[in-house]
Structures are given as C-alpha cells and as structure tokens.
Chains A and B, each alone.
Chain A
Amino acid sequence: YSFFPGTPRWPAGKTDLTYAFLPANNLPDSVKAVFSRAFQKWSAVIPLTFTETSSYVVADIRIGFHSGDHNDGEPFDGVLGTLAHAFSPPTGILHLDGDENWVVDGDVAASAVVSAVDLESVAVHELGHVLGLGHSSEREAIMYPTISTGTRKVDLAGDDVDGIQVLYGSNPNYNGSATSTTTTTTQERDTSGGGS
C-alpha cells in the first residue's frame, strides 16, 4: 500500500462522512446502490461511517460522472484509457468517466464485450484514494492501478486493509478476514501465461 505525499487523511474527529452525487447526473438508484456497497467495503474495516446526503454542496465526498474536460485539469479520454480519478483527503472529490460502458449489476464477467467496466470495482478503488490511499504494487490489491475489462474486483485485500488501518485504525467489529475475489473472463489480456 502507499499514501499520498504527506500522508493526508480525514481529520481524527471527523468519523461520520457524508457523500452526495452530482445532481445533474440524475443517477438511477441502481448506480447509487453500487456506491453504497463500495463505501461499506471500507467502513467494514475502519471506524468511519458514510451516509448519503442530498446536499451536494456541503457533502464531504462529492461523486460525479463527467466526460472529457470537466475543469479540474484532468480531462477524461473517452472509452477505456483513464476510467476515473479522485483527490486526496480532505478534498473528497471522486470523478468517473461518463463515456465508459459501466456495468452496474455485477455480471461484467458474463460477456465478451471488451469495453465493459465494472462500476463497483472502480468505485471501491477510487474511494480508497478519497480516504488517503495511493496505489499499490500488489496485483491482488484493490489499490492496484489497472483493471482489465471484464474483471470484477470488489473485496479489499490484506494490503488494502493494512494500509487504510494505518491511517484510521481498525473498526472494532472487524474480524480480520479480508478476502480478495477477482472474477475474470477471457477478456482479461493477462500476460502471465496462466489464462483467465
């Protein structure tokens, strides 16, 4: 695991964070539910809670889908390439590329469509950045920078848990069982020679 320079994190006294979606996106409930599940992955291991609020302006974490140049100096690039980005705490900004073919219900591995990207996998990764984690060199980690299309990886690996607990400590209810589950199809162009 790694951290951003200076190891920024949310302030110690701020344990109940709110999040909101960009109103202009008019996201369906199924998409919002994906983020709710993604937040739960992190709140299960650290003593922080995440609650959705309708007030985008005052929310601690603001989530939006954008296309191309969206005025943060980090323009998106269309299908594939860069999928999303987020800013270190306490900025609380998470942007996703609106041009991607986002799969919402989790069966991204069931098709041969090479451009399908599992939304929850990317959401869990980006929330790691929102909380203060940088990228990991461990391939199994959520915070590994790349994800192949047709891949679903939503469970924190031990490396992710170790890193985030350095920043925030452990959730008292966390039982210490981090498991990493990755589902792939033949679309994962893995060069390890092991196939998918």
Chain B
Amino acid sequence: RFFPNSSSIPRSLIPTNPDGKWDAFKNLTGCHAGENVDGLANLKNYLHYFGYIDKNNFTDEFDDNLKSAIKTYQLNYNLNTTGELDGQTLEQIVRPRCGVADIVNGTSSMNSGKKTTSSGIHIHAVNH
C-alpha cells in the first residue's frame, strides 16, 4: 500500500480506531497495583513482546511484575516512573512503533540499562 501522499489514501483503508490494534489499552488508564482488570493480560503480552516482562501465564492481575515492567518502560521513554498506567504512559504505549524489542535478552542500554550512581539512583538526563 504505497501512496504519493496521505490525502490519496482511500477512505476504505483508513482504520476507525486511530491507534490501531493497541487502542483498547487506553481503557486501562488509571489501573494500578492490586487491581484485576480485563485487558491487563494483553498488556502483559505487549510488554513481553518488547522485552519488558518475562514469559509467564499472563493474567489480568496488576501484579508486581507488571508494575516493575511499567516502571522500566516509563524510564526508557522519559516518563514519570510511577509504575501506574497513567494517561501519558498509555498514550506512548499505543503509538505505532518498531517491532524490535527495547530490551533484548534482558539487557538494554536505553535509559533503564544505564549505569547507576553509587547510591543506586539512575542518572536521568533530560534533553533540552
């Protein structure tokens, strides 16, 4: 499907949900640890696919593994590391993206893989 410009894309090929297949994740906004919410298992699959969470029997429970994975994701994308599914995090998650994992074989040199200070605090650089 190649088009010289975006206005030449036929209406029939334009999806009704603007964020595509991950649009449903937006329903998880506000979820936090301890909750059990429909759709969290799918989110765990997403995070597994991109290297943030180990393969497991994914359930809809917001467990510690999911919280840790979300924190790592937030760190990599320079978001507030709350471990919660806030709107900003989900807006980032549903964006179209490259299929290459952010964390390969458990290691990453994105923000979450950077060296820490002697106090164990991540050095967080903000690009201006």
Contact = CB atoms under 8 A, between A and B. Distances in A.
A150 B6 contact: yes
A125 B98 CA distance: 8
Chain A to chain B: the 6 pairs with minimum beta-carbon distance, closest first: A80-B20, A85-B99, A2-B109, A116-B6, A111-B6, A82-B99
A132 to B, nearest CB: 12
A148 interface: yes
B36 to A, nearest CB: 26
Interface string A123-166: 00110010000111111100001111110000000000000000
Contacts, number: 154
A86 B100 contact: yes
B98 A84 contact: yes
B78 interface: yes
Contact of A114 (B7, B14, B50, B107): B14
Given A79-B15, A148-B96, A110 B102 contact: no
A79 B100 CA distance: 17
Residue of A100, A115, A147 with most partner-chain B CB within 10 A: A115
B57 interface: no
Contact of B3 (A116, A122, A146, A187): A116
Interface in A90-137: 98-105, 107-111, 113-117, 119, 122, 125-126, 129, 134-137
